[in-house]
Amino acid sequence: DVKVTQSSRYLVKRTGEKVFLECVQDMDHENMFWYRQDPGLGLRLIYFSYDVKMKEKGDIPEGYSVSREKKERFSLILESASTNQTSMYLCASSQAGGDQPQHFGDGTRLSIL
Amino acid sequence: AQKVTQAQTEISVVEKEDVTLDCVYETRDTTYYLFWYKQPPSGELVFLIRRNSFDEQNEISGRYSWNFQKSTSSFNFTITASQVVDSAVYFCALSLISNFGNEKLTFGTGTRLTIIP
């Protein structure tokens, strides 16, 4: 079974802090994704990566950056956290190819105070 | 731009009733994929089904069935004889091929389904 592991289930940080959310997958997938999930808005794509050191902006990249130094790991970075970044963050991975389903982690519920 | 609409925000049915979750999509592309995911209370999204734009055959898997109609741009999901374990948020999603040939999903806002014992 594919396993996508997010480093924290719950995280509380303060406004202005630099925040790192880590995601690791164990199936050698080419693609990795970061989403945020908010009530009434569904899942919105922040960034995705289709190869090591490659990244592409999603629909809401402002205020975020990403890093993919190794194939199995995809990090989401909040450079200076703000209260409107309080949300559930979901990481996903998939094989290359437009028909491949994405496999999701359990999510990180991030609160910015 | 592509869009997925799940007009039903919340649905509650009594156990053993049938229930249909609606999904309507918009895209100008002729090649695309449609997905349904389930998000139980534990939080992890679970893949249920994938359908490509050239295959309009309906699919049945146990108590689950899917009706794909290109003419109405709909991909509806029916649960027959619902059970309490079906309680979850269900997401419909549309996949287009990005510039680099890789999948990029657009999700609907989800339908929260509650099965009442």
Q: Which residues of A touch B37 (CB under 8 A)?
A: 104
Residue for token digits 């450079």? A79
Q: Which residues of B touch A103 (CB under 8 A)?
A: 47
Which string of b and e fits B104-115 if b means at least 16 CB within 10 Å? bbbbbbbbebeb
| pLDDT of the residue at B42 | 86
Would an 8 Å CB–CB cutoff place B50 in contact with chain A? yes
Which tens digit of pLDDT belongs to each residue from B25-73?
Answer: 999 988 889 999 999 988 889 999 999 888 888 888 899 999 999 999 9
Mean pLDDT of B73-99: 92
Would an 8 Å CB–CB cutoff place B54 in contact with chain A? no
Which tens digit of pLDDT belongs to each residue from A31-75?
Answer: 999 999 998 888 999 999 988 988 999 989 999 999 999 999 999
CB-based contact A99 B104, cutoff 8 Å: no
The fraction of chain B above a pLDDT of 70, given in percent, is: 94
A82-91, B73-82, B103-112: which range is least confident on average? B103-112
Is residue B103 very low, low, confident or very high in pLDDT (cuts 50, 70, 90)? low
Burial of B6 (0-12, 13-18, 19+ CB in 10 A): buried
Q: Is the pLDDT of residue A93 over 80?
A: yes
Residues in chain A whose beta carbon is closer than 8 A to a beta carbon of chain B?
A: 30-31, 33, 35, 40-45, 48, 50, 56, 58, 88, 90, 92, 94, 96-107
| pLDDT of the residue at B100 | 60
| pLDDT of the residue at B3 | 92
Cβ atoms of residues B91 and B44 within 8 Å: no
Q: Is the pLDDT of residue B102 over 60?
A: no
As a whole number of angstroms, the distance between CA B95 and CA B52 comes to 9
Q: Is the pLDDT of residue B83 over 80?
A: yes
User: What mean pLDDT value characterizes chain B?
Assistant: 91
CB-based contact B97 A102, cutoff 8 Å: no
Is residue A2 very low, low, confident or very high in pLDDT (cuts 50, 70, 90)? low
